[in-house]
A and B are shown apart, each in its own frame.
Chain A
Amino acid sequence: DIQMTQSPSSLSASVGDRVTIACRTSQSIHNSLNWYQQKPGKAPMLLVSGASSLQSGVPSRFSGSGFGTDFTLIISSLHPEDFATYYCQQSYSLPYTFGQGTKLEIK
C-alpha cells in the first residue's frame, strides 16, 4: 500500500493567515493526489483533484500543487469557515489510501 504522511497533524492559525499543509507519499504517484475538507459531523468534501485542479465551487483561496511524492495544499487567506480537517488521498494505485489528516484550528 502507498503510505501517506501529512504535516503538520494540527495547526493553529488566525483568520487572514496563509496556511500550507503538506502531504508526502511513500512512492511516486505522479499527480494522482486529491485533497478533501471535513467539518465536524459532516462527510469529507473534495477540494482539489489531480494535485492542482480546483473543484467547481471551491473558493480560489485554495490551491494545490506538487508531483511525484511531495504535495501541498495552500489556503492563501483563511476564512472562518475554513477551520476543519484536511485529508490528502492517492488514486495512483489500489488500495486508495488517505493521509492521517491535518486539523486546522482557530488561534
Chain B
Amino acid sequence: QVQLQESGPGLVKPSETLSLSCTVSGGSISPYYWTWIRQPPAGGLEWIGYISNSGSTNYNPSLKSRVTVSVDRSKNQFFLKLTSVTAADTAFYYCARLVVVAGECDWFGPWGQGTLVTVSS
C-alpha cells in the first residue's frame, strides 16, 4: 500500500524559505495528484496546493504568491517551497495523495505522518 513520509528542516528563520520533501513508497507517483496540507498546533486544516499527474499545479490563493509544489518522478518524491515565512507559517505540514476521479468527489488519502515546522529566529 502507498505510504508517504515528509522530510525537511524543523526550524526555519523568519523571511527565509521553508522546503519540504515527501517520499512516496509502495507505488508509483506518476498516475496521481499530490498535495500539501498544513495545520497550526492546536489548529485547523488548511489546503496549500497540489501538483497533478501532468505536472500542472494549483495553489490556495491565500498562499499562492509564496508557494511552489514540484515533483521528481524519478525519485518518487514531491516537494513544497514556501518563501518569506513568518511565525504564522508555524504548523504541522502534511503531504498526501489527492484522489481525483471525473464525476466524483476529490479526496485526500493516504497522508504522511506530518512534520512540524517552526518559524523562529
Interface of A with B (CB < 8 Å)? 1, 31-34, 36, 42-46, 49-51, 55, 87, 89, 91, 94-101
- Chain B residues within 8 Å of A, Cβ to Cβ: 44-47, 58, 60-62, 94, 96, 104-109, 111-114
| Cα of A101 to Cα of B39 in the assembled complex, Å | 12
The answer to whether A44 and B45 touch across the interface, beta carbons within 8 angstroms, is yes
> How far, in angstroms, from A51 to B105 measured CA to CA in the complex?
9
Q: Do residues A34 and B105 form an inter-chain contact, with CB atoms below 8 A? A: yes
Closest residue of chain B to A4, judged by CB?
A: B44
Q: Point out the residues of chain B lying under 8 angstroms from A31, CB to CB.
A: 105
With A87-B44, A95-B62 in contact, is A42–B105 under 8 Å at CB?
Answer: no
Complex A-B, nearest 4 residue pairs according to Cβ-Cβ distance, in ascending order? A43-B111, A91-B106, A50-B105, A96-B47
Q: Which of B46, B60, B62, B109 contacts A46 (CB 8 A)?
A: B109
CB distance B58 to A89 under 8 Å? no
Of A34, A44, A87, which contacts B111 at CB under 8 A? A44
Instruction: Give the residues in chain B near A51, CB-CB below 8 Å.
Output: 105
Would A91 and B105 count as touching, CB distance under 8 A? yes
Interfacial chain A residues near B105, Cβ < 8 Å = 31-34, 49-51, 91
**B47, A45: Cβ atoms closer than 8 Å:** no
Question: Which chain B residues lie closer than 8 Å to A98 at the CB level?
Answer: 44-47
Contact assessment for A95 and B47 in the assembled complex, using a CB-CB cutoff below 8 Å: yes
Provide the bound-state CA to CA distance between A43 and B111, in Å. Answer: 6
Would you give 28 A-B contacts (Cβ < 8 Å), ordered by A?
A: A32-B105, A32-B106, A33-B105, A34-B107, A34-B108, A43-B111, A43-B113, A43-B114, A44-B45, A44-B94, A45-B111, A46-B107, A46-B108, A49-B104, A50-B104, A55-B109, A91-B105, A91-B106, A91-B107, A95-B47, A95-B61, A95-B62, A96-B47, A96-B106, A98-B46, A98-B47, A99-B44, A100-B44
